[in-house]
Structure 1
Amino acid sequence: MSVTARIRRSDNVLDRLGADIAAGRLTTGQTIPTETELMELYSVGRSSVREAVSTLAGLGMVTTAPRRGTTVTNRSEWNTLSRDVLRWLMDSKVMTPGILEAIDEARRVFEPASAALVAKRATRLQIIDIETAYAQMEDAALRGDAEAAVLADREFHLAILKATGNPILQAFDSAIDSILGVLFGVTANHMENFRANLSNHLAVLEAIRLRDPTAAERAMLDTIQFTTEKMKVAKLIE
């Protein structure tokens, strides 16, 4: 078997187990199936199972101990900045509302502050990257291209995080990536909402261009608040 095929099989086991844990089908403290059982269940080799379990352990979702097997850990120990963990949680009807509320709350903490930092320290090239992303958002809105809109919106926010020059803030890119994709897919009239929120994004861009940290922070808060209200309308959060 090729290395690529083995990785794909390992990813399949990882995805199935991760989704089961996130959805609560495997609960905290529960022992997951043994290696042999997983091999039979997914029709894969031992190495694929071990790679998947090792990855879950690295994400904090399981722990392995001699004579106890591999058990599911408490959600508080999971690496929720991981794209995979966020995706599993958001795909789970049981946990989605809580994780969306948590991400919304976190965005209010780090994104406005990031926009303020960028207004003070971004280079001209970094501002061009933000301008380019915004131009792509406008183009997607004009064409009614939902897929391009998601990508452009994502690039706008990620360009701002990148321009902070702060590696800790940049690590939140997975949260931004995940929430924008999910919200765009489930919020009613999403293209209308996307177009309506363009003015807030433009206000962020203009404040950054003018090197106005206070205005950039306020505009980013307005941008996030718009999304928050749409999540409430869609009953994704309280």
Structure 2
Amino acid sequence: MTRPAGRKLYQAIIDALQADIVSGRFAPGDRLPTERELVDRFCVSRLTVREAVIGMEILGLVEARRGSGVYVTAHAPGLLQPSDLDIGAFELIEARRLVEGECAALAALTRNEADVAALRDILERMIAENAIDSPDEYADREFHRQIARATANDAMVLTIETLWDVRHRSPLCMAVLDRARRAGEKPRIEDHRAILDAIAAGDPDGARQAMRRHLGRVIEHLLEATQNDALERARAEAAQLRDRANRFSAIR
């Protein structure tokens, strides 16, 4: 699929599927093609299709139902438009993987003892946040900001802070990350420890690779979380059906 001027690929997919709904190709109650079929139709990655489908859920056009697929719910869009889904979680983390990998490499060359000590302290706070299931993840963000500060480059600090701010501004990004959080995703302590150890050792290539591996695993977990979200809803609905059946049997 060729990306239209001024449009992201997942927005273009939403536009195409929304046009299919309006034209009657898919009526309310119809199941959309599978993820594999959409990947083949639009010649894009699973990540792009996944964000397009989640975006359509946010817009109120479709819903995941009973674990059997994604179904059309309406012809008309709601208050949000595809253009409101400006940045998705997958593209954000892809950008972070590129930028923060180089940031970590630079930090390994420029860090001082105070920077390393600060990172160790933040890592301990991250462990404490994980232990109480804190939804805020302040320590995670602070860890990555501290790496940027260790570069002694204010432009790098601003860049990293901006990337982190995006996750709280985009409805699509927040939707995906919230699902991952509900699925049990937490800041990965061992990943962050590996990044810290490479920076402390003055190993720029090791720090770069540790950061890229970490964020690559985050992308994979987001894929798993968004795939399993529909399955969890199906399990909940099945449990409700079983409960109703049990109550009916008890009445009889």
Partners of 2:103 and 2:151 within 8 A in 1: yes
Distance in 1 separating the partners of 2:178 and 2:190: 21
Give the equivalent residue in structure 2 for 1:229: 220
Give the equivalent residue in structure 2 for 1:216: 207
Superimposed CA distance per residue, residues 143-188 of structure 1 (whole angstroms, 9 cap, x where no aligned partner): 22233xx101010111111111122221221212443893653314
Give the equivalent residue in structure 1 for 2:178: 185
State, as a whole percentage, how many aligned pairs show the same letter.
Answer: 23
Post-superposition offset of 1:235: 3.8
Give the equivalent residue in structure 2 for 1:155: 142
Give the equivalent residue in structure 2 for 1:174: 162
Amino acid at match of 2:120: E
Of residues 118, 136, 152 in structure 1, which corresponds to 2:107? 118
Distance in 1 separating the partners of 2:218 and 2:93: 9
Post-superposition offset of 1:202: 0.8
Partners of 1:154 and 1:176 within 8 A in 2: yes
Partners of 1:116 and 1:216 within 8 A in 2: yes
Shift in CA distance, 231/96, structure 1 to aligned 2, threshold 3 Å: farther
**Helix, strand or coil at the partner of 1:193:** coil
Post-superposition offset of 1:114: 0.6
Give the equivalent residue in structure 2 for 1:105: 94
Post-superposition offset of 1:221: 0.6
**Helix, strand or coil at the partner of 1:211:** coil
Larger Rg: 2
Give the equivalent residue in structure 1 for 2:186: 194
Shift in CA distance, 230/179, structure 1 to aligned 2, threshold 3 Å: farther
Shift in CA distance, 165/184, structure 1 to aligned 2, threshold 3 Å: same
Distance in 2 separating the partners of 1:205 and 1:93: 41
The answer on 1:164 being equivalent to 2:151 is yes
Distance in 1 separating the partners of 2:149 and 2:94: 20
Question: Which runs of 5 or more structure 2 residues have no equivalent in the other structure?
Answer: 1-79, 228-252
Post-superposition offset of 1:130: 1.4
Post-superposition offset of 1:189: 3.6
Distance in 1 separating the partners of 2:223 and 2:94: 13
Question: Which runs of 5 or more structure 1 residues have no equivalent in the other structure?
Answer: 1-91
**Helix, strand or coil at the partner of 1:203:** helix
Partners of 1:115 and 1:220 within 8 A in 2: yes
| RMSD, aligned CA | 2.7
Distance in 2 separating the partners of 1:186 and 1:93: 21
Amino acid at match of 1:117: L
TM-score, normalisation: structure 1: 0.52
Distance in 2 separating the partners of 1:212 and 1:232: 31
Distance in 2 separating the partners of 1:220 and 1:194: 16
Shift in CA distance, 93/119, structure 1 to aligned 2, threshold 3 Å: farther
Post-superposition offset of 1:102: 3.1
Query: Size of the alignment, in residue pairs?
Result: 142
